Amino acid sequence: MKLIFASLVALLACAAFSSVALAQEGGYTAEELQRISSTKESHHFEAEVHKLMDIIINSLYSTSEIFLRELISNASDALDKLRYFAISNKDLLKDDIPLDIKIKADPEANTLTIFDTGIGMTKEELVQNLGTIARSGTMNFIKNLQNSENAGDIGQIGQFGVGFYSAFLVADRVTVHTKSPLSDKQYVWEADSQQSFSVYEDPKGNTLGRGTAIVLHLKEGEEEYLEENRLQTLVKQYSQFIDFPIYLWASHEETVEKEIDENSDEEADDSMDIEEDEESEEEELSTIVVHDWERMNNLKPIWTRKASDIEEEEYNEFFHALSKGVDDPMAYTHFKAEGDINFKALLFVPPRAPHNLLDTVDNTRDVKLYVKRVFITDDFAEVIPRYLSFLKGVIDSDDLQLNVSREMLQQTKLLKAMQKKVHDYSCISQMIFEVRAFCKWGNKFSKSWSVLLRRILSFYETKFFLMPFTRVA
What single string gives the DSSP state of each residue in 211-234? EEEEEEEEPTT-GGGG-HHHHHHH
H/E segment holding residue 463: helix 463-466
Q: Give the confidence band of 122 by pLDDT, cuts at 50, 70, 90.
A: very high
Q: Label residue 121 exposed, middle or buried (CB < 10 Å: 0-12, 13-18, 19+).
A: buried
Which of 175, 152, 132 minimizes the C-alpha distance to 25?
175
Taking only the tens place, the pLDDT of each residue in 40-84 is: 898 888 777 777 777 777 666 778 898 999 899 999 989 999 998
Task: Determine the pLDDT at residue 367.
Answer: 87
* Residue 361 Ramachandran class (φ > 0 left, ψ -120 to 50 alpha, else beta): alpha
Taking only the tens place, the pLDDT of each residue in 296-318 is: 998 889 999 999 999 999 999 99
Q: Label residue 353 exposed, middle or buried (CB < 10 Å: 0-12, 13-18, 19+).
A: middle
User: To 10 degrees, what angle do helices 47-55 and 138-146 make?
Assistant: 30
Taking only the tens place, the pLDDT of each residue in 276-300 is: 454 555 567 788 888 899 999 988 8
d(CA 234, CA 65): 8
Taking only the tens place, the pLDDT of each residue in 146-169 is: 554 444 333 333 333 567 888 999
For the chain, how many residues are written? 473
Q: Which range has the worst mean pLDDT, 216-225, 258-267, 393-402?
A: 258-267
472 pLDDT higher than 50 = no
Q: Label residue 177 exposed, middle or buried (CB < 10 Å: 0-12, 13-18, 19+).
A: buried
Average pLDDT for the chain: 75
Task: Determine the pLDDT at residue 469.
Answer: 53
Q: Please answer whether residues 316 and 289 qualify as being in contact, where contact means their C-beta atoms are separated by less than 8 angstroms.
A: no
Query: Which parts of 117-242 are beta strand (E)?
Result: 171-179, 186-191, 196-201, 211-218
Taking only the tens place, the pLDDT of each residue in 434-444 is: 555 444 455 55
Q: Please answer whether residues 453 and 470 qualify as being in contact, where contact means their C-beta atoms are separated by less than 8 angstroms.
A: yes
